[in-house]
């Protein structure tokens, strides 16, 4: 037994293959990389086979892209991917060296060496396939395999990146391809909470959350997991757990297990968490002719520019005209406004285009909402009593989202967390009948 390795108390029955993903803060310095190596080594001592996916060291991707933008603000996406992918290449090499220092066989792979095959959408490519033969051979030979997250290669052998948070997606995709027993996502937080603890100090860590709820939370602004990683996990039934790399697993801190609802025998709380997102902007096209095809005429050019649209509202028609509102990511706001002003407005003869990039979205998420009426009304009442005006509303079976002025976002999160008593463990009164 190596006494310099981190002590790990088994948080589940022994398994044969685990994929572990470590975020940038976990890889932020040589000492933290050593801590990751000791943790990985301990799992190896217990008999597990390990595939490890590290992110770039904290701040490194921003530094690299900053250098590129300094040289050319309009740098091509292909070259930006070449530059950004090097951050993970450094991480995998350093972690392999740290493991080898501990006497653990380790081998690193870039995305193209695996290879991880993607489409050619630079800076936000999607994984198409993973050829896992090389990884399996090294695992069978007793090595820890370290794979660069966030990157892949397209059909023309160009390096691609998966977009911010893409290392999560790499980890889950590898777990799916390798049919791993569990995918562990190590971050700087110790699980999924009922709300952001920085906003709501009373927020509770959830022991479990369903894939549906996690998918909604990720899409609504939760930064714990990247949405595409949750989609992958749900599609391929990957057992997923969120843990902190800064706590000793020998404690009772077991993170949050993301489960399939059909596997759960226990009752579920009505609301699991309050999510928020300040990264959106609202755009309204005024005086739009109310005729068939007008929504496509507005959103078609937006989609052609690869700009994602979130919430959509079309007002009732007055004298044959209506207003059409939707939200986009704040980073895409100026580009979307430009497209609407120059292309869409003249084409459909709209009266004008207005925008607001100082909004925020606040959402309630919970599978228990399916069987409980009145959740939205209770939500709206709580916000109204605090003088918070609702600008837009969107609902699904398991979530209700509202757009509010950004300055009221934190207040709205705290009010809703208190209203639905999320600081308390679910009781029989707050669970499904």
CATH number of the CATH domain containing 350:
3.30.2130.10
Region 55-65: mean pLDDT is 95
Rg (CA), the chain: 23
Question: Which range among 9-23, 38-52, 79-93 shows the weakest confidence by mean pLDDT?
Answer: 9-23
pTM summary value: 0.78
Residue 352, pLDDT score: 95
Is residue 364 a part of any domain in this protein? yes
Residue ending a domain, choose from 265, 293, 308: 265
Q: Is residue 71 domain-shared with residue 172, that is, in the same domain? A: yes
The CATH number of the domain holding residue 88 is: 3.40.1160.10
Is residue 203 a part of any domain in this protein? yes
Q: What is the DSSP string of 62-81?
A: HHHHHHHHHH-TT--HHHHH
pLDDT digits 0-9 by tens, 309-356: 999 998 877 788 999 999 999 999 999 999 999 999 999 999 999 999
Q: What is the pLDDT confidence band of residue 254, given thresholds at 50, 70 and 90?
A: confident
Q: What is the pLDDT confidence band of residue 114, given thresholds at 50, 70 and 90?
A: very high
Number of folded domains that form the chain: 2
- Contact (CB, 8 A) for 2 and 102: yes
pLDDT digits 0-9 by tens, 132-166: 999 999 999 999 999 999 999 999 999 999 987 79
H-run or E-run covering 392: strand 392-396
Is residue 9 a part of any domain in this protein? no
Q: Is residue 249 domain-shared with residue 331, that is, in the same domain? A: no
Residues facing 324 on adjacent strands: 285, 314
Q: What is the pLDDT confidence band of residue 249, given thresholds at 50, 70 and 90?
A: low
Q: Is residue 325 domain-shared with residue 373, that is, in the same domain? A: yes
Residue ending a domain, choose from 214, 245, 265: 265
Region 81-98: mean pLDDT is 97
Is residue 346 a part of any domain in this protein? yes
Is residue 12 a part of any domain in this protein? no
Question: Which range among 59-68, 168-177, 317-326 shows the weakest confidence by mean pLDDT?
Answer: 317-326
- Contact (CB, 8 A) for 361 and 220: yes
Region 74-99: mean pLDDT is 97
Is residue 82 a part of any domain in this protein? yes
Residue ending a domain, choose from 217, 244, 265: 265
Range of the domain at 342: 267-421
Tokens (6 digits) for 289 = 């002719």
């Amino acid at each position: 037994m190596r006494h310099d390795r981190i002590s790990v108390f088994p948080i589940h029955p022994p398994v044969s293959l685990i994929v572990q993903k470590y975020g940038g803060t976990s890889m932020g310095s040589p000492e933290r990389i050593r801590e990751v190596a000791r943790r990985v080594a301990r799992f190896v001592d217990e008999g597990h086979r390990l595939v490890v996916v590290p992110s770039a060291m904290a701040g490194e991707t921003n530094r690299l892209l900053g250098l590129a933008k300094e040289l050319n603000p309009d740098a091509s996406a292909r070259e930006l991917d070449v530059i950004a992918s090097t951050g993970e290449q450094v991480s995998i090499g350093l972690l392999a060296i740290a493991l080898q220092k501990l006497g653990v066989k380790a081998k690193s792979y870039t995305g193209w060496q695996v290879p991880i095959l993607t489409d050619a959408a630079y800076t936000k490519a999607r994984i198409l396939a993973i050829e896992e033969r090389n990884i399996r051979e090294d695992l069978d030979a007793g090595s820890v395999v370290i794979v660069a997250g966030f990157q892949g290669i397209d059909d023309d052998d160009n390096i691609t990146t998966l977009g911010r948070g893409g290392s999560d997606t790499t980890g889950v995709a590898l777990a799916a391809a390798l049919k791993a027993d569990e995918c562990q996502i190590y971050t700087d937080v110790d699980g999924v909470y009922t709300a952001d603890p920085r906003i709501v100090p009373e927020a509770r860590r959830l022991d479990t959350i369903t894939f549906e709820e996690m998918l909604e939370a990720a899409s609504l602004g939760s930064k714990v997991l990247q949405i595409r990683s949750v989609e992958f996990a749900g599609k391929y039934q990957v057992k997923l757990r969120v843990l902190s790399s800064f706590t000793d697993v020998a404690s009772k801190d077991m993170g949050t297990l993301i489960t399939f609802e059909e596997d759960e025998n226990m009752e579920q709380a009505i609301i699991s968490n309050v999510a928020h997102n300040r990264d959106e902007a609202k755009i309204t096209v005024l005086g739009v002719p109310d005729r068939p095809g007008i929504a496509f005429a507005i959103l078609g050019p937006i989609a052609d520019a690869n700009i994602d649209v979130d919430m959509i509202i079309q007002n009732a028609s007055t004298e044959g005209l209506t207003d059409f509102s939707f939200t986009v990511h704040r980073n895409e706001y100026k580009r979307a406004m430009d497209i609407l002003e120059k292309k869409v407005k003249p084409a459909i003869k709209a009266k004008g285009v207005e925008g607001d990039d100082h909004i925020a979205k606040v959402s309630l998420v919970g599978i228990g909402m399916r069987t409980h009426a009145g959740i939205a009304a209770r939500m709206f009442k709580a916000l109204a009593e605090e003088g918070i005006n609702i600008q837009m509303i969107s609902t699904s079976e398991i979530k209700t989202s509202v757009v509010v002025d950004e300055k009221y976002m934190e207040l709205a999160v705290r009010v809703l967390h208190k209203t639905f008593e999320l600081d308390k463990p679910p009781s029989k009164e707050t669970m499904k009948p």
